[in-house]
Amino acid sequence: MTDVPLLWWPTAVLAVVLLVDAALSMRPPGFIRDCLDGVRFPRDWWWILIVIKTLAAVGLTAGLWLPGVAFAATVAVIAYFCCAAVAHIRARFLGPSFWVNCLGMLLFSVAVLVLSLAA
């Protein structure tokens, strides 16, 4: 189960999505700013999200060749989006960004784990 992914492309797509998200977060467009402000995430800490997403993408990519790394990175991404969901719920910020972006990415990450690693 913790080998390299059986299907490589779901892991690669998740890595690309996280890299794009990290790149967008460098100069966040309105929907990202609104989301982070909506959950009351301090602006002084926004940079850490870029680091987390970039490291996750690197881990997912490395995991295509290194046994166990993609599994660990995917589980960490799932944990990240679970924390994001909790932040949305606690802040009562339950608009489209919660349903589409946050839960959508959580569902996508779980699907990647199931599709590429759990067989």
pLDDT at position 3: 82
Rounded CA separation 16/36 (Å): 21
- From first to last of its 119 residues, the chain has per-residue pLDDT tens of 568 888 899 999 999 999 999 999 999 999 899 999 999 999 999 999 999 999 999 999 999 999 999 999 999 999 999 999 999 999 999 998 899 899 999 999 999 999 986 65
pLDDT at position 84: 95
pLDDT at position 79: 98
pLDDT at position 4: 84
pLDDT at position 37: 94
Whether the Cβ atoms of residue 116 and residue 8 lie closer than 8 Å to each other: yes
Question: In terms of Cα–Cα distance, which of 39, 80, 73 is closest to 59?
Answer: 73
